[in-house]
Amino acid sequence: MRTKLAVIAVLALCLGAKVDDAKKDKDKVQGEWTMASGERDGNEIPEEFVKSLKRVMKGDTFEVTREGETLAKGTFTLNESKTPKTIDLKLEGTDEPVHGIYEMADDTLKICYASPGAERPKEFSAKSGSGCTLAVWKRVKK
């Protein structure tokens, strides 16, 4: 009986750690970000456009703006249990989800995502013909 309790306790701790880890990434992405670089389908996004993009993550919602104009808005979910970690976006006004992958390091958020309804990328790449976008965001320092 004691062994069963020990196994249950270990499993509970492991499962709890996974929930806490997911919460940690969700907490880490909160706030305001500016785009540092971007590439779409093999084409580099022009620097003047990149520098004008902002992303705000609040709760499970996001909004991407340029000079105060909303370009994209919706909800997101993260899944840290996958390798690479996954992000799913639901854009307002569309039925097709956007599937992507992400990684975080310090104040940098890298997201690679496919076109709405397309398969999730398997690597952080936006090669020509892939239909993928690779964006690197930097946290806005307050």
Q: Which domains does the chain have, with CATH numbers?
A: 2-139 (2.40.128.280)
What is the rounded (10 degree) CA torsion for 87, 96, 94, 130? 70
Q: Are 27 and 104 in contact (CB under 8 A)?
A: no
Q: Tell me, what's the pLDDT at 16?
A: 46
What is the rounded (10 degree) CA torsion for 52, 72, 127, 28? 80
Closest residue by Cα to residue 100 from 81, 121, 124? 121
Share of the chain above pLDDT 90, in %: 78
| 66 Cβ contact partners less than 8 Å away, ≥ 6 residues apart | 49, 52, 53, 54
pLDDT category at 65 given cuts 50, 70, 90 is very high
What's the token pair of residue 134? 């690779």
Q: Are 137 and 116 in contact (CB under 8 A)?
A: no
Q: Tell me, what's the pLDDT at 142?
A: 76
For residue 87, the tally of other CB atoms under 10 A from its CB is: 23
The single residue listed with the structure tokens 């899944």 is: 79
Alpha-carbon span 72 to 70, nearest angstrom? 6
Share the mean pLDDT of the chain: 87
Q: Is a pLDDT exceeding 70 seen at residue 72?
A: yes
Q: Is a pLDDT exceeding 80 seen at residue 2?
A: no
Alpha-carbon span 27 to 57, nearest angstrom? 10
Q: Is a pLDDT exceeding 60 seen at residue 137?
A: yes
Q: Is a pLDDT exceeding 80 seen at residue 10?
A: no
